[in-house]
Structure 1
Amino acid sequence: MRAIVAVAALALAAPPAGAHSVYVTAGRLLDVASGTARTGQCVLVDGERIARVEPCTAPPPGAQALDWSAYTVVPGLIDLHTHLADTGQGADVAAPLKTSPQATALIGAHNAKVTLEAGFTTVRDVGTYRGLTDVALRDAIAGGLVPGPRMFVAGAYITKPGGGGELNGVIPNDQLPADMRLGVVRNAGEARERTQYLFDHGADFIKMIATGAVLAIGTEPGQVELSQDEMRAVVDVARAHGSYATAHAHGAAGIKAAIRAGVHSIEHASLIDDEGLAMAKKAGVWLVMDVYDGDWIDQEGTREGWPAEYLRKNRETTQVQREGFAKAVKRGVKLAYGTDAGVYPHGLNARQFAYMVRWGMTPAQAIRAATLDAATLIGHEKELGSIAPGKFADMIAVAGDPLADVRVLENVAHVMKGGDVAK
């Protein structure tokens, strides 16, 4: 896929200064493919990549010894639904407009560092109000200018005028700055043109707003906002670039229209019905369901005075989304890890693991959703998602056994990304 090539090329273009060999001693090494952990294992890192995984011996000559023997070593985590390059959610609907593109990028740099230190070494950033700030942040991280996870970015939202991807309720939308409306479309022709524009300006994949949103003024989650023809136009252009489109879709009708249009994944899927689940399974479409943040919105949003409309829509979707998630687990629908980080503070991404377990996954399944399965969704499973020779040396160390208590992933002791220790 184009997205993979672009990000991999950026990462390889800027190898860590003074790249060297590191010999990591693991207390327990988690094999996410089998869902088991092994003891007595060491990992030889050569530059950015894993050279060998083997029973421990003396470190090779010249290799730095890194003792993580007190920890379980897990592949670097992947969050497929984040908003690093944005102001974050709060009571002030106008905050994205009040924050300049430059300030937004600096906020993104902070969010990226916090996210990396929380153990998430790769993210998919699925949209920002200030279009293309995510592209700038991705490139700064890849160039070694700021610390952060590898980023796959959407550039902007493809959305209808006044839809769930617009900053509604602040000023008339046609008076918003141009960089806040890069993906606004009115028909299939415009959808095609805007999609091409985003790829031309650095997007790795495309994010469509197929239905209304919980956290957008004047839209309803169950309402279809993009037609199937408009979404098909986006999908076709994305495929021509060797990439894909994902769809923000809460409502059942919008989910099914997006699947028919050929999307690669569905974000949220809050109101998915049995037919939609069957369609997703048959088509091999991934669901990325943010089953944690509904509690944050209800508790903190209420305390902070978020718009009543947001709180009402959140209450109407949270429980039914979790029930849909449980059905998806039982029916074998493909599920990958995505949290909507930015709705809640960045760095708390791992809180969702416990919710996924509560709603039907085993700890091993939940961890795989955030490692090997997430890497597979972005088409990067040969380089990310597990601790194996040839892959990027992305690893975290946690105290305790995440296969017994997945919440230990909420407190990460050490982080390595591409052979560099970030924490």
Structure 2
Amino acid sequence: MVLKIQNVTLYTGNGEKQLKTSIVVEGKKILAVGEEADRLQADTVIDGTGKTVIPGLFDMHVHLGMDGVGDPFAQVAGDTPARSAYRHHINAQKQLKSGVTSVRNLGSKWHIDLDYRNSISDGLMAGPSVYGSGQAIVMTGGHGYPFSTEADGEDGVRKAARETLKAGADVIKLMATGGVMTPGVDPGSPQLSEKEMRAAVEEALHAGKTTAAHAQGTAGIQNAVRAGITTIEHGIFLDDETIELMIKYGTVLVPTLAAPYYIVQHAESGGIPAHAVKKAVDCFKVHQESFKKALAAGVRIAAGTDAGTPFNVHGDFAKELELMHEYGMEVKDIITAATLQAAKTLNVDQTAGSLEKGKVADFVILDEDPEADISAFRKIHSVYKEGECVHESASKLEAVVG
């Protein structure tokens, strides 16, 4: 069946915005957009007057095994593998309904995200596209160690990376520094060394995979960048030298602005461990300034939330986009960061990430234009995954033909 949605505002994902235009889908693929789509006939034609179409969104940093409770580490510790698997599915459905058609899951105990990914790709269940890291690789006692793979030294980290790749990981997740949620570690302190991370990066490259580093402190970020890491997660303490290094190496920043924001907003709730509150409050302002400096300097940015951390629930991707806008990013650039740049970072931009002929038909219909009101990212009318409507609001669009 050929479906045409016409009279819409359309953001392609590559920085282009088209007015009063069309998108045509056949099966799982985009048949045409823009003027070519306007001319094509279709089995079903839907009038999208007043609506805005954007590519399906990518949340580049999620934890599907965490619900956004005050102490997610305790939640993970109390789960069985089966319960965690159910949690992955429920949280993924929340992501999908919010317009996120692809997630990069950066850390799941027992590599459950990889089995969940396979269950979706095999057709056992419906869900977003999942790009998983399995268990993250950390130094002994490093950030997130209770549900990660502990490894030390170049040989130890190399072996851990090979084992994770054997399990089917799409991306290798490494802990370059301490973090907010783990007690007894400093977010600014380096953990895995440059040489240790380089060993893992080499193994990932040999397998055609990408890498991500949890990296908050300046020295650890620099270690990760020099090691050849694909993405820096969080990037809280960025100075000019570090930003220049990221530009030189082409490193992508995934800022996860929502993560400290929600901890600070709920600091008095009593549900978040005191050590996490203190560290998040200490990091909050400098994180914002680091993002602004990286943006101004031209660092490549992909959008990610760290969903699953305290009060940072799945299905609230819009908050990250709102914060990016509040801190100075233009709407078109935000859409690119959440679509095509994310797809490029995952090396899937030939088939996904933008609304172009021949690409997979993952797209979202919004009730309003986010350039007119940034809250439009919350006003989801419908979500299409591989050409199929997987979520729709109560107000259905009118079919004018078919």
TM-score, normalised with respect to structure 2: 0.93
> C-alpha displacement at 1:202, in angstroms?
1.1
Contact 2:67 2:313 in 1 (8 A): no
> C-alpha displacement at 1:357, in angstroms?
1.2
> How many residues in Structure 1 have an aligned counterpart in Structure 2?
388
Task: Encode CA deviations 1:28-50: one digit per residue, 9 max, x unaligned.
Answer: 112332342321x2222111110
Contact 1:86 1:105 in 2 (8 A): no
More displaced, 45-54 or 340-349? 45-54
Q: Which runs of 5+ in 1 are unaligned?
A: 1-19, 168-179
| Structure-2 change in CA distance of 1:253 and 1:342 (3 Å) | same
> C-alpha displacement at 1:86, in angstroms?
3.5
Contact 1:353 1:407 in 2 (8 A): no
> C-alpha displacement at 1:243, in angstroms?
1.3
**What amino acid sits opposite 2:110 in the alignment?**
G
| Structure-2 change in CA distance of 1:91 and 1:126 (3 Å) | closer
Identity percentage of aligned residues: 33
Please show how residues 323-362 of structure 1 align to structure 2 within 5 Å. 323-343=289-309, 344-362=312-330
Q: Which residue among 31, 50, 53 is the counterpart of 1:51?
A: 31
> C-alpha displacement at 1:24, in angstroms?
2.0
Aligned to 2:363: 395
Task: Encode CA deviations 1:72-99: one digit per residue, 9 max, x unaligned.
Answer: 1111111101111335442364221211
Q: Which residue among 235, 256, 259 is the counterpart of 2:201?
A: 235
Please show how residues 38-187 of structure 1 align to structure 2 within 5 Å. 38-39=19-20, 41-55=21-35, 60=41, 63-91=43-71, 93-128=73-108, 130-167=109-146, 180-181=147-148, 183-187=149-153
Q: Which residue among 166, 171, 174 is the counterpart of 1:200?
A: 166
Aligned to 1:28: 9
Contact 2:94 2:314 in 1 (8 A): yes
Contact 2:70 2:272 in 1 (8 A): yes
> C-alpha displacement at 1:60, in angstroms?
3.3
**What amino acid sits opposite 1:238 in the alignment?**
A
**What amino acid sits opposite 1:21 in the alignment?**
V
**What amino acid sits opposite 2:8 in the alignment?**
G
Residues 1:210 and 2:176 are matched in the alignment? yes
Residues 1:364 and 2:332 are matched in the alignment? yes
CA distance in 2, matches of 1:306, 1:414: 34
> C-alpha displacement at 1:137, in angstroms?
1.1
Contact 1:26 1:72 in 2 (8 A): no
**What amino acid sits opposite 2:32 in the alignment?**
R
Aligned to 1:271: 237
Aligned to 1:37: 18
More displaced, 376-385 or 281-290? 376-385
> C-alpha displacement at 1:21, in angstroms?
2.5
TM-score, normalised with respect to structure 1: 0.88
**What amino acid sits opposite 1:122 in the alignment?**
S
Contact 1:109 1:147 in 2 (8 A): no
Q: What SS does the aligned partner of 2:279 have? A: helix
Task: Encode CA deviations 1:209-241: one digit per residue, 9 max, x unaligned.
Answer: 110011111111001110111101000100100
Please show how residues 285-324 of structure 1 align to structure 2 within 5 Å. 285-324=251-290
CA distance in 2, matches of 1:34, 1:94: 42
CA distance in 2, matches of 1:278, 1:98: 42
CA distance in 2, matches of 1:150, 1:104: 18
Contact 1:294 1:314 in 2 (8 A): yes
Task: Encode CA deviations 1:344-363: one digit per residue, 9 max, x unaligned.
Answer: 11001111111111112111
CA distance in 2, matches of 1:227, 1:52: 48
